[in-house]
Chains A and B, each alone.
Chain A
Amino acid sequence: MPLLQINHLTHFFGGLRAVHDFNLNLEKGELIGLIGPNGAGKTTIFNLITGAYRPSQGDVRLNGDNLVGLRPHQITGKGIGRTFQTIRLWNNLSVLDNIRIAQFAQIKYGVMDSILRTRRYQDEEKEIKKRSLELLEVFNLRHLADEIVTNLPYGQQREVEIVRALATKPQLLLLDEPAAGMNPGEIDALLKLIQWIRQEFDLTIWIIEHQMRVIMGICERIKVIDFGETIAEGTPDEIQSNPRVLKAYLGEEGI
């Protein structure tokens, strides 16, 4: 069974059709890309999958379970982690707290346990803290654990956001324009990081990007959408030479 199945996903904002009949089967361990010009509906698809919007039609299945109608935190709890196009960390909290809170779904103690500081609470909190620090360690961010997020440079904030998404224990990681605002050197480092994460955490990764060259290097399969419609699908080479993609990106005349 595919890890993620999306069938006939369609979404309207009022009268505007943002996504139309989007289909995808994502196998475990794949690394795929979704590209398209600005406003093509890429982020909307992520928002539909993660429950931020409820699809007008169609369904989304993770390991066969239908996700439509679940609240976002439930979907995240089932194993879909994501980052955001513009960084959405909890700015006035420490790096460590950002990572800790992302493990909310794994908390089993009740509110009374936290108020009374029971054994169970202490054990779980210790585990959460240990895991958070280990994650930060892996990304060489451990020395920043107590730093307030706002004080970090942009690149590190991006990294922290990825670590936070990993802290939710995802099977599928959705990266929404991870290279936005990065220079070519940073992009190279990021691509290496993504490939490494995939191996290290045994993840399936889905990247949104509108700069084609970013994902050409690492994705095995790429889907291209424009105005909510899928216009092409295939390997990077096929995509690069596909006339419809060129048209979408470069315009009718092919300047």
Chain B
Amino acid sequence: MAQLLRRIKELLGHIPLLAYLLGFLAATSVEIAAGRMFGLLIGLGGAPAFFGVTASFSRLNLDSGLVGFLLSIPSLLHYVVLALVYDVVIYGLPTLIVAGVLAKPIRWLVSALPEWLTGLIHTVTLFLSLWIWGSLVGYRLLVVMYIGVNIIMTTSLNLINGYMGEFSCGHAGFMAVGAYVSSLLTVWLFTQDDVFGAPALSAGWSIILFPLILIVGGIAAAIIGLLVAFPSFKTRGDYLAIVTISVNFIIKSAIENIEFIGGPRGFMGMKGVLKTMASVINIPWLLIWTFIGVLITLAVIYNFVSSTKGKGVVAIREDEIAAELMSVNTRHTKVLAFTISSFFAGVAGGLFGHVVGYINPSTFTIFKSTESLVMVYLGGMGSLTGSVLSASILTVAMEALRPLEVWKKVLIWLMLILLMMFRREGIMGGKEITDFISLERLGLRRSAKEVKGYAPAAD
């Protein structure tokens, strides 16, 4: 048995990442063709939105006391079994079969193509599989975009809390600035709105200007980020945490008191912007920009923290006084870190505003900041892949556990407590996933042997 497991592990481990991605792409096609039918056939009543997790939990009876709850458990188990069958048949088997078949050709392909092209193929395949999988049920696409927004929030906060070792609790404040600035701009420019009147520019501009407006939102947030950077010269740790919380509250109250953008009632109309964009060219613009936003955030933060200049950030975490005395310009470095971090929080806010279509000041309170904090600590401080993982897991968990109502929060925070007790360093513990699985093994980089034209003997 143990040998069989090892053999399976070995087999699966030798399949490159791209083969899995293509396998999943194939599985989504299978789902489109047969998912609904199969779901009806086995009694799920159609294709489940989240691999059946959400639907399983919704079987639980939370309203009729303990007895009702216990009695509803068999119904949950019954559904779980059906959902598992669905997942294996629709996702598991097609993915594995296609991945297994393609493993060899793809290994060859990776060794033949230049690395940038391999990277591009991975990116496009990932995007296509997310898009196709998401399009089947509208709700999925929304969650995929939430994940994107949360990844940007988490990785950007990780720069401050993980890499620099400061404790910023006001990240949602910067998100709010970005959300409001970019939403106001797009609604003013591209839609018929009660406040701004007719669209200021023709619809065609929306395609070009949308990403630029996201950047403007980011810049606005970065300017506010400077407000936090300056106190950070003088104070750190708990005291800086209080400063950041205050900034969060100041931003929220400021927005609440600007009547013309809706005050506490919030601001809407961003769905109209998406409609305008779709009326020009009908492709999922928001998904595309969220996806690109995530990639850019990861690339920028990774490139920054792995440069000697950016490593000054880590030196500040390790010993700020030694950093300053060993020629690191700590003030400049802090300003950079806060600016970059709040810039991306602003971009995430802009995306968030358009994903949800409605923003209001009480969305961006300390609770939202805490959510990002939790994702940073869950993933591991100073680990970008950890942040990506935890943002994805927690976002999906929060959606999938929705049927549990109030208990959802209890469960999620309980998970966090357990994490802090048993694995304080988070999922990745300050390491990147590439420290465990090499890029060569994932098929993202040519292995040295293959480059030299050395073929390993078959065994």
Contacts and interface: CB of A to CB of B under 8 A. Distances in A.
B336 A88 contact: no
B315 A101 contact: yes
27 contacts: A71-B324, A73-B324, A73-B325, A73-B326, A73-B327, A73-B330, A89-B319, A90-B318, A90-B323, A91-B319, A92-B318, A93-B314, A101-B308, A102-B327, A103-B308, A103-B327, A104-B309, A104-B312, A104-B329, A107-B309, A111-B310, A111-B336, A115-B299, A117-B303, A125-B307, A128-B308, A164-B326
Interface string B68-92: 0000000000000000000000000
Contacts of B321: 52, 88
Interface residues of A, number: 36
A86 B312 CA distance: 21
A76 B336 contact: no
A90 B315 contact: yes
Contacts of B315: 90, 93, 101
A93 B327 contact: no
A20 interface: no
User: In which size bucket is the chain B interface?
Assistant: 20 to 34
A232 B311 CA distance: 44
A117 to B, nearest CB: 6
B309 A111 contact: yes
A90 B327 CA distance: 14
A101 B313 CA distance: 10
A72 B324 contact: yes
A206 interface: no
Q: For the complex, would chain B's binding face be called helix, strand, loop or mixed by DSSP majority?
A: helix
A84 B336 contact: no
Contact of B307 (A72, A77, A88, A114): A114
A111 B222 CA distance: 15
> Which among A50, A71, A111, A164 has the greatest number of chain B C-beta atoms within 10 A?
A111
Contacts of B328: 73, 101, 104
A125 to B, nearest CB: 6
B325 A76 contact: yes
A168 interface: yes
Given A73-B329, A117-B303, A88 B322 contact: yes
B304 A168 contact: no
Contacts of B300: 115
Contact of B309 (A88, A114, A116): A114
B318 A104 contact: no
A12 B146 CA distance: 56
Nearest 8 pairs of A and B residues by beta carbon: A90-B318, A114-B307, A105-B327, A88-B322, A76-B327, A72-B324, A104-B328, A104-B327
Contacts of A82: 325
B309 A109 contact: yes
B89 to A, nearest CB: 45
Given A114-B303, A121-B307, 9 more contacts: A71-B324, A77-B327, A101-B314, A101-B328, A102-B327, A104-B312, A104-B326, A115-B299, A164-B326
A136 to B, nearest CB: 15
Nearest to B308: A100
A97 interface: yes
